[in-house]
Amino acid sequence: MKPLLHSKVPVAAGVGVVVLIAVALAVQITHVSSHYSDGPSEVEYMKVLRAAVAYRQDLEAQGAALPVSVSLKQLLDLQLLTKQDLVDFKDTQVNIAMMARPRLADALISVSMADGFQVSVLGDGSVQQSKR
């Protein structure tokens, strides 16, 4: 498996946050994949990352305020992702933080699983798992 940080993600602004999200996604993919073998692959997560980056760049280009987070449904509604991109995310709710300067304790990505567990990757790279 190719490391996520070597993927080419178009970034014009917010490089630090994008790197943090990429690291968080890498950790989250490893963690979730070990427990949910039929879940999304690295390719699907990279599509989500690219969509979140595109959304952030669009908002920044417009001078608009960044929301606290963006969900997969919002990225789908904005046509930054397709239904086909999200097939492997069925029965999960994913939120990606959009904050400009996340703190170490902030959740960069949160994934709520159908089995009632929530997995969050924090700004320090740690993974928290809890039962909802």
pLDDT in tens, 56-79: 999 999 999 999 899 999 999 999
Find which of 14-18, 48-52, 76-80, 113-117 is predicted with most confidence, using mean pLDDT: 76-80
Most confidently modeled range among 31-45, 71-85, 93-107: 71-85
Return the closest-CA partner of residue 55 out of 103, 98, 106: 98
Q: How far apart are CA 87 and CA 66, in angstroms?
A: 27
Query: What average pLDDT is seen over the chain?
Result: 75
Q: How confident is the model at residue 107 (pLDDT cuts 50, 70, 90)?
A: confident
Q: Which two tokens stand for residue 38?
A: 């039929």
Q: What's the CA gap between 91 and 56, in Å, rounded? A: 25
**Predicted local confidence at residue 25, as pLDDT:** 61
Q: How many residues does the chain have?
A: 132
- Which structural domain, as residue segments, surrounds residue 21? 4-131
Name the nearest CA neighbour of 80 among 111, 108, 40, 49: 49
DSSP code for 6: G
Characterise 63 by phi-psi region: left (phi > 0), alpha (psi -120 to 50), beta (else). left
Q: Give the total number of structural domains in the chain.
A: 1
- pLDDT confidence band for 15 (50 / 70 / 90): very low
